[in-house]
Amino acid sequence: MQQDPHSTTGTLTLEPPAPPSTLGRWVAAARPKTLLLAATPVLAGIALAVAETGHLAPLVAAATLVAAVAIQIGANLHNDAVDFERGTDTPDRLGPPRATAQGWFSARAVRNAAHLAFGLAFLLGVFLVVHGGWPILVVGIASLSGGYAYTSGPRPIAYGPFGEVYVLAFFGLASVAGSNYLQTLTLSGPALLLGLALGLPAAAVLLLNNYRDLETDRAAGRHTLCHVLGRGRARALYALLLLLPLGLMQGAGLPGATWPVLGALPLALILIARLYRGAQGAAINPLLGQTGLYQALLTGLLIGGFALGGQG
């Protein structure tokens, strides 16, 4: 056995095993746990459209969902390669293993895979633009550009304090309102407010990720929002990002019943308490997945509320 670089206790543990097959390593490189964050707001926007109109365009819905997931996979792979080349992914990293840093694939191969994912999103986007017109073209170009700019260019978004704003914009507002628009061909206030509400816990995931990596990010020259705020204020912001959506959904003018989303409050309080009790380092990793599940729970409860409204 050897000392686990992902441990903050100094105990001797085994290294996390590498996926056993090439396919398994590519799946791990795509970071499947993050894909729920891409899919959930799209499903919410589609469900809102069905609740508003009583109609579903299934082919458009499927293309929207696959395009959103493809952009997320592309961004994950591109981030994997670029962070390795910039020297950000070091042996001291506390998060799950990255494909390039682990030597599973070359940076070039991972970047090429990212281009394939972005290419699939582009092809689906052409279909969606034909259906939805220039607003979808603007959103699509911005989404693809953002996927590259997150870790690339002279001023990568991920290396500054605006990463959470990026997540809020693309994993909340654009995803929910855009998918809703593709179903209804109208931009509604409730869709925008729902996008804001679901973008907040997505931003909380990134904040938590940067909270975990604060020391290694500082060493790599990454001045994230967590770096600017410090740990104490970052914890307070995390609590706000989890609790504010509950109030926003109540006042968003959504169809059906919105009270079921309050069923997510106990999970929010549990996650906030765990962070305030001093979770740091690798102990943050479970909280990341659970925060993503919190966003999915909000969506599931909201869709249940839509159904209750339809029955009434």
* Helices 285-311 and 189-212, axial angle in degrees (round to 10): 160
DSSP 170: I
Q: Give the closest residue to 141 by CA, choosing from 128, 156, 131.
A: 128
Q: 3-state DSSP: the chain helix, strand, coil percent, rounded to 5?
A: 75, 0, 25
Q: Which amino acid is at 235?
A: R
pLDDT for 287? 93
DSSP 13: E
pLDDT for 3? 36
Phi, psi for residue 259 in degrees, rounded to 5: -60, -25
Phi, psi for residue 248 in degrees, rounded to 5: -60, -40
Rounded Cα distance, 57 and 49, in Å: 10
The DSSP result for 231-269, as a single string, is HHHHHHHHHHHHHHHHHHHHTS--SS--GGGGGGHHHHH
Rounded Cα distance, 198 and 40, in Å: 9
pLDDT for 10? 33
First to last CA, the chain: 61
Residues 135-189 have pLDDT tens digits of 999 998 888 788 777 777 678 888 889 999 999 999 999 999 999 999 999 999 9
Cα angle vertex 294, ends 198, 163, to 5°? Answer: 50
pLDDT for 19? 62
Rounded Cα distance, 168 and 176, in Å: 11
Q: Which residues of the chain have pLDDT under 70?
A: 1-20, 87-95, 153, 310-312
**In b/e form, how buried is each residue of 156-184, taking b as 16+ CB within 10 angstroms?**
bbbbbbebbebbbbbbbbbbbbbbbbbbb
pLDDT for 131? 96
Rounded Cα distance, 221 and 179, in Å: 36
Phi, psi for residue 15 in degrees, rounded to 5: -60, 145
Report which secondary-structure segment, H or E, holds 3: strand 2-3
pLDDT for 20? 62
Distance (Å) of CA 195 to CA 119, 167, 199, 299 = 26, 11, 6, 11
Rounded Cα distance, 19 and 134, in Å: 42
Contact between 125 and 119 under an 8 Å Cβ cutoff? The reply is: no
Residue 260, C-beta contacts closer than 8 angstroms, at least 6 positions apart: 301, 302, 304, 305, 308
Beta bridge mates, 76: none
Domains of the chain from N-terminus onward: 22-311 (1.10.600)
* Helices 174-184 and 107-132, axial angle in degrees (round to 10): 40
pLDDT for 312? 46
pLDDT for 236? 97
SS3 30: coil
pLDDT for 14? 36
Q: How many CB atoms lie within 10 A of CB 21?
A: 9
pLDDT for 28? 87
SS3 20: coil
